[in-house]
Chains A and B, each alone.
Chain A
Amino acid sequence: MAKAKANKDYKAGGAKKWLIIVAILVLIAIIVTVIVILIPANTSDAVDRLRQSSQTSFLENQREQENYDELETKVETSMVRYYSQELQDIRTLSGSVNQMLDFYYEYLPFAEDNNVFSDNYHAIKDNLENAVNYQQDMNEYISEAINLEDDADLNIQNLWIDFRLSFSNYLGCMSGAIEALNNCYQGCFNSTLSNNTASSTILNTVDDFLSVITDEFEQLTQTDVKGHTTVGGQSYSYESHGKVLYLSAFVENYIINDSDIMQYNFNSDLQSKYRLINRYFETHNQSNFVSVIDSISNEDPYNITLTFSNPDSEGIYDAVKAFIDVR
């Protein structure tokens, strides 16, 4: 009897042991899965993505430029030549976007892998990856347009409308990525010479420009739509030319020529300049420069038209206008 009982105990102990082993293995599998899914932001991963984007963004390579040239010629010699300014501005805008990507690529490999980076990692990576898909669509539309067998104006118009929608989405992704990169710049390079009041003001202003221009392109996709009976552009109202000119000059003046950023900490005049510009937010009850940029006229000489009634004896608003308009 004792022997049988011992055997019974042994079998029960064996099953329990296997259950424990299986439970441990399952627990390990769960932990590994959680770790893999929640793997912390990887700077090198984001840097790789940014490097690729800065090298391959829209109109960076010669083939894309040649195709775009051909499309421009086709549009200019058609009845939808009223799209020409928009085409030229998209070229300019793409150049400015790429210059911003290059700028951030100079910094991201050195970013501190902290909470700010973690918070912005997906916005950087996902937006840049989605932009690639929209860029592919844009190139397909361009290719289709330049290879049209029937160059009827309506066909060109429809393809341009399709292209614009993809470009609008592309610009939205780039704008999102650049904003996230700005957050990283300001939050992952603490206590350095290149992260200062000048750089914050400049980079925030670029974000403001892109935000305004992206919104305008998005509105354009909703107003200039397919299905018009005639090719006449009655619903076409492109109003971003001035803003694109400003942005292009702004990026040239403050990003390509980054003297304000580099010299800020050594130059008391620069410190005074940016102190004054930043007083704009509190004295005019604004949180950014969006309304200033929004007010850029769409007619030559493309002046900033926003006005304020409150007195500005310090010349703050003039300083802001001089800062933003560097054409």
Chain B
Amino acid sequence: MKKKFLFSCLAFVIALSGLGLVACGDENSSINPFEKYMDSVTTYKSATTLFKHSVTDGIESDFYLNNFTYKEESGEKVEGSRYYITLIAYGMDYIEDYYVYLAGSEGKDYSALHENLDALNESFNEINQSSKDMVNDEGISDKHNQTYNAHFAMYEANAKDFINNLYETALSLSDFLIQQEGFIDELGTSSTNTQEEIQIQFYMDSQILKVFDDIRRVVIVSSNGVNYQGKGVDVFDNAISLLSSYANLSARYIRDLNNETIENTMNICNRLDGERNMVRKALDNFSITDYVEDDMEIDVYEVENENAWAYYNRMEMYFSSNINFLTEYYNYLQNNIYE
């Protein structure tokens, strides 16, 4: 009797805990974040200290990073690393173009979208403040390069965080539209697919988004945001060059494509994803910063990172060897997809 009573109490407590956990679950998971995206994009666009309308590497964007400059000893302003600007412009344009397709969506799990957008908004606040500090300090610090550059260092650091959150957000939006909304399910399957033009544009923009993300992992993550261009790190140099090439490509019109070309392209893109998974593992395990500190001597770096040679080789195959996958992919897109 006593035992039965104790077991009943235990079962009741476990059931209550379970209900409590469910009740405390993510309340956003069922709320469509369309309105939140709209508010965020509107807010970002109105942040004219941070963003302006301009063109970078062929991308015309309302999200061109403003006042992203540091001062040399002479007091002359020099633009910060261009790839920060290009990465932000493309990522923001992607979100602005495609969040609208969340309108009308219902009954899905939106928790990842909320989570990423919340993180992006937080880092937006930081970078926005940094950009204001740059401007506020302009007149006062005109002759104080050190102070100006200290603000720029903070601006750049916040830009780095913003870019990382931006790409998480953009990629989660892309994944959601493809996997949850089935946005491209009919692509290449039927000549009567009336939405095909939008779907192709979305699909190719998403593929280029992934390429930009690959490059982000080199120039922002593995390099810790430090600009190693021209320092003898082939992977870094070529990643920058590819960023410019793909940015220009993305601004071009897409040809009229037949189903065979679409199917072949999707096959190539899926296989590129397979390579991407490998190079991401390599990038996760290879620090370009540490490699540079070891004077680009792979034998030296191998002392602390046993498989460094394999990882760097994988990165070269993807970004920079004579024949590398991203260049082959670029050539394919240029010859078959874009005008």
Contacts and interface: CB of A to CB of B under 8 A. Distances in A.
B271 A265 contact: yes
B282 A110 contact: yes
Given A192-B271, A193-B271, A263 B278 contact: no
Contacts of B275: 192-194
Interface residues of A, number: 21
B323 A262 contact: yes
A190 B272 CA distance: 11
Given A47-B310, A109-B311, A262-B324, 9 more contacts: A51-B307, A109-B310, A109-B314, A110-B314, A192-B275, A262-B317, A263-B323, A265-B268, A266-B329
A193 B309 CA distance: 21
Nearest to B274: A192
A106 B310 CA distance: 5
A193 B274 contact: yes
Contacts of B329: 266
6 contacts: A109-B311, A110-B310, A191-B273, A193-B275, A258-B323, A265-B271
Contact of A193 (B306, B311, B325): B325
Contacts of B311: 109
Given A191-B271, A193-B275, A262 B328 contact: yes
B118 to A, nearest CB: 33
Contacts of B332: 266
Interface of A: 47-48, 51, 105-106, 108-110, 189-195, 258-259, 262-263, 265-266
A108 B270 CA distance: 21
Interface string B272-291: 11110110011000000000
A37 B117 CA distance: 47
A50 to B, nearest CB: 9
Contacts of A51: 306-307, 310
Contacts of B282: 110
A190 B274 contact: yes
Contact of B307 (A109, A191, A194, A263): A109
Interface in B87-109: none
A193 B273 CA distance: 9
Contacts of B313: 106
Contacts of B270: 191
Contact of B274 (A108, A189, A258): A189
B46 interface: no
Contact of A266 (B273, B306, B310, B328): B328
Contacts of B179: none
Contacts of B307: 47, 51, 109
B274 A266 contact: no
Contacts of A265: 267-268, 271
Given A47-B307, A106-B313, A109-B307, A262 B325 contact: yes
A320 B332 CA distance: 28
Contacts of B273: 191
A270 B106 CA distance: 47
Nearest to B328: A266
Contacts of B271: 191-193, 265
A194 B276 CA distance: 11
A49 to B, nearest CB: 12
A50 B281 CA distance: 19
B323 A259 contact: yes
Nearest to A112: B277
B328 A263 contact: yes
Nearest 3 CB-CB pairings of A with B:
A192-B274, A110-B278, A193-B271
Contacts of A109: 281, 307, 310-311, 314
B42 interface: no
B30 interface: no
A48 B273 CA distance: 26
B331 interface: yes
B300 to A, nearest CB: 15
A262 to B, nearest CB: 5
Given A106-B314, A109-B310, A193-B325, A266 B331 contact: yes
B314 A266 contact: no
Interface in B318-339: 323-325, 328-329, 331-332
A110 B284 CA distance: 12
Contacts of A193: 268, 271-272, 274-275, 325
A52 B307 CA distance: 11
A110 B314 CA distance: 9
Nearest to B321: A262
A59 B307 CA distance: 22
B201 to A, nearest CB: 22
B242 to A, nearest CB: 16
A96 to B, nearest CB: 19
A7 B90 CA distance: 83
